[in-house]
Amino acid sequence: MTDASLTPPARPRVKMKPKSNARAIRHGFPWVYANELVTDRRTKKLAPGSLAVLEDEAGRSLGLVAVNPESKIIARMLDRNPEALIDAEWFAARLSRAAALRGQLYDAPFYRLVHAEADGLPGVVIDRFGETCVVQPNAAWAEAHLEALTQALGEVTGCTVILKNASGRTRGLEGLDDENAVLKGAAPEAPVPVVMNGATYMADLTGGQKTGLFYDQRDNHAFAARLVAPGAEVLDVFSHVGGFGLAMLAAGAGQATCVDGSAAALDLAAAGAAASGHGDRFTARQGDAFDVLAALGAEGAKFDVVICDPPAFAPSKQALEAGLRAYERVAKLAAPLVKPGGYLGLCSCSHAADLTRFRNASARGIGKGGRRGQLLHTGYAGADHPQMPQLAESGYLKAVFFRLD
């Protein structure tokens, strides 16, 4: 029998160490780190994803947690009720609450349906693409309860296709595999068109990055589009499937150049431009983004709007300083490409680089690129990516927009 079938009284109990921060758990922090928990032989023998009752050092219950002795995040809070039964009904309640919020925010079912801890499902990401949901079970407990999660997801959303994407970086940290799977229905054979901000994007749900599309930048795409004058020339670097470039074309840009290292992503961007009716104003340039930025500078290229949306250069605290230098370098190379009075947007999805550090690195890079600018706007992930106030990692995305002299 799996621990999901254990009745509450049979659940193991795990205890926080003396002087550990049980108060933070009581106040809503969702994680217990390995150095905060008493890890005796019994605890170490728990299978990854096991359910247990978490106690403070005095033996008082703090709630029901999922335990993974192999992870630095050894326990994740699931429910304040230590007797909660984690079954399809439990998942349905969490999913229904998440779906109600997105249904109020968006007029079409294309959004992030579940944003992990912030939606009460630690380590679980679910993006919805119409009749298809893509699930990333990035924690061992979610993998262990995937059948119940899938059942509830189908019932709540009515989606006919549910896919599992196992590409999340944290799955490796949890000791999980990287094998994708079809959990319900049949995987789509072609990219799924997604309309946002007047542009059509092509989402590859089975072979693309992450779940196929980055919904988190939707609001920042919209702000970038507001900076576009009719006929403007724009540059979208680290473009993936054309996120910023296609939104700016839809807003009236005369020409959009998208730069990415992936030929497949650029093909999808081109298909999106064509589907949006702007194929004749779209240009792709494949290559290492740093090399292409340097080459454009050598060519004397100038654009009205330049956006750089790189991958996470600082995915951990250990990578922070190197990541900040990389963000600074991006800004240094991009700033000279902006026409006088034009706009530069710089983005970071690194939770380890907070807004102040990222903004400062960007400003240093702009200065080293020989430019000065006004900071116009700071953007974050859209409302379908809610933040958990107690967990800084849930507010990972930052976007800063400058007007350069």
Domain ranges of the chain: 3-79, 88-184, 192-404
- Give the per-residue pLDDT at 110: 98
The reported pLDDT for the residue numbered 386 is 96
Q: What is the mean pLDDT of the chain?
A: 95
Measured in whole angstroms, the distance separating CA 12 from the mean position of its chain's CA atoms is 33
List for the chain the helix, strand, coil content (%; round to 5): 35, 25, 35
Task: Determine the average pLDDT of the residues in 330-338.
Answer: 98
The mean pLDDT of 52-72, rounded to a whole number, is: 96
The pLDDT-based confidence of 109 (bands split at 50, 70, 90) is very high
How much of the chain exceeds pLDDT 90, in percent? 91
Strands (E), 349-396: 373-379
Residues 103 and 106: their CA atoms lie apart, in Å, by 6
The pTM is what?
A: 0.94
Please report, for residues 7, 199, 280, 362, the alpha-carbon distance to residue 277 in angstroms, rounded to integers and kept in the order given: 58, 9, 8, 34
Q: Considering only residues 392 and 251, tell me which one the structure prediction assigns the higher pLDDT.
A: 251
What confidence score (pLDDT) does residue 355 get? 95
Count of CA atoms in the C-beta half-sphere (13 A) of 297:
15
- The yes-or-no verdict on residue 209 having pLDDT over 80 is no
Tell me, what's the pLDDT at 212? 85
Task: Please name the residue ranges forming H helices in 6-145.
Answer: 22-26, 41-44, 88-105, 140-144
370 SS3 class: coil
- CA distance linking residue 66 with residue 54, whole number of Å: 9
Q: Does domain 3-79 have CATH number 2.30.130.10?
A: yes
* Percent of the residues in the chain that have a pLDDT greater than 70, as a whole number: 98
DSSP E strands: which ranges in 43-180? 50-55, 61-67, 73-79, 110-115, 124-129, 132-137, 161-164
Residues 6+ apart with CB under 8 A from 7: none
Residues in the chain: 405
Q: What is the dihedral of CA 300, 303, 309, 310, to 10 degrees?
A: -10
- Amino acid at site 323: G
The confidence band for 6, taking pLDDT boundaries of 50, 70 and 90, is low
Q: Could you give the residue numbers annotated as active site?
A: 349
C-alpha closest to that of 124 among 82, 76, 157, 56:
76
pLDDT over threshold 80, residue 7: no
Q: Give the pLDDT confidence score for residue 115 in this predicted structure.
A: 97
Strands 282-286 and 199-203: unpaired
Strand ordering across the sheet containing 13-15? 13-15, 50-55, 61-67, 73-79, 31-33
Q: How far apart are CA 62 and CA 55, in angstroms?
A: 5
pLDDT of residue 265: 95
5 pLDDT exceeds 50?
Answer: no
Least confident of 97-106, 165-174, 274-283, 378-387: 165-174
1 has a pLDDT exceeding 80:
no
Give the pLDDT band (50/70/90) at residue 9.
low
Q: What is the pLDDT of residues 283-300, one digit of tens each?
A: 999 999 999 999 999 999
Band of residue 8 on the pLDDT scale cut at 50, 70, 90: low
The pLDDT value recorded for residue 114 is 98
Confidence category of residue 10, pLDDT binned at 50, 70, 90? confident
* C-alpha 29: how far from chain center: 20
Q: Which pLDDT belongs to residue 102?
A: 98
User: Tell me: domain 88-184, CATH 3.30.750.80, correct?
Assistant: yes
For residue 266, count other CB atoms closer than 10 A to its CB. 22
Strand 181-184 versus strand 161-164 pairing type: antiparallel
Q: What are phi and psi of 389, to 5 degrees?
A: -55, -30
**Residues 6+ positions from 141 with CB-CB distance below 8 Å:** 49, 50, 51, 66, 68, 76, 78, 122, 123
- 192-404 topology per CATH: Rossmann fold (3.40.50)
The alpha carbon of residue 400 and the mean position of all alpha carbons in its chain are separated, in whole angstroms, by 18
Confidence of residue 223 (pLDDT cuts 50, 70, 90): very high
